Amino acid sequence: MAHSASGQRLRATRLGRSSVAARLEHEVRLTAADFADSVAEARLRVAAARYKVEDEVRNTAGKLKSQVRKAADEAKARFSDDARFLKSWIDSPGRTGAVAPSSPFLARRMASYVDPQAQGPVVEIGPGTGPVTEALIERGIDEARLILVEYSPEFCDLLRRRFPRATVIEGDAYALSTTLAGHLTDKASAVVSSLPLFNKPPAERTELVQDAFANVLNPGAPFIQFTYAVISPVPRKGSGLKAQVSDWVLRNIPPARVWVYRRAKP
């Protein structure tokens, strides 16, 4: 049957509308899929950012926690060192020579006169609880190069625990070369002393230092000593020693100075 012209137009119009509708529907689906993709991507980004923030918070909290723990441990160690020292002073004031360990400022000043590059071990006499030992290590002297001579058995136990690679000798530093016999394979690059020298007569102090220069130290190496006194703790007249002295280290109780002795003719 032949179609009328108006019927054909009507069909064409309907066909045109349905293809437009189909295209529109297709576009809408694509847009919806794009939108869903964007939403999923945005969710992933948000999740990644959240993990990063959580991670940073966890890291920072961890770091803070370990800093607080370290500070608490240090404070505890300092407190117990102070208590140990005070007990040692009560038991034997003359031998301990101070009511508290040296401050890190005095300890660092002592260590500053040791050349870490110089050959040979570093002999520390009267290390106590080890503040000067710590400063020597901080200065760059390998712990294994340290020979520590301490009279008190309690301090020796503590030093062995604290500095396991150092050589700790429980003995009398005033008989220095005898006490070091068998431990000193090379001559030393420095003797660092915290002994309370003024508790000994001048002749005994002189003997100690002369023994160190004759039998323990390398030529040119220093004997380093701190003191709270205003005069040289080592008698200098006729000693053949030259000396230099630091300014007062005020951040120590009581304030102290460091004397560095060397042979005038090494």
Q: Applying CB under 6 A, which residues contact ligand SAM?
A: 95-98, 101-102, 125-128, 131-132, 149-152, 155, 172-174, 194-196
Give the number of residues written for the chain: 266
Is the Cβ of residue 43 or residue 114 nearer to ligand SAM in the bound state? 114
- Over the Cα atoms of the chain, what is R_g? 39
Q: Report the residue number, 93 or 219, with the smaller CB distance to ligand SAM.
A: 93
Q: How far apart are CA 152 and CA 171, in angstroms?
A: 8
Shortest separation between residue 162's beta carbon and ligand SAM, angstroms: 12
User: What minimum distance in Å lies between the beta carbon of 85 and ligand SAM?
Assistant: 7
Closer residue to ligand SAM (CB): 152 or 189: 152
The Cα-based distances of 21 to 12, 24, 35 in angstroms read 14, 5, 21
Q: Which lies closer to ligand SAM via its Cβ, residue 118 or residue 253? A: 253
For the bound state, the minimum distance from the C-beta of residue 206 to ligand SAM, rounded and expressed in Å, comes to 15
CA proximity to 121, closest of 179, 44, 191, 49? 191
CB of 59 to ligand SAM, least distance (A): 37
Residue 33, CA distances (Å) to 19, 30, 51, 234 in order: 21, 5, 27, 91
CB of 96 or CB of 232, closer to ligand SAM: 96
Angle of helix 131-138 relative to helix 104-112, nearest 10 degrees, comes to 50
CB of 164 to ligand SAM, least distance (A): 19
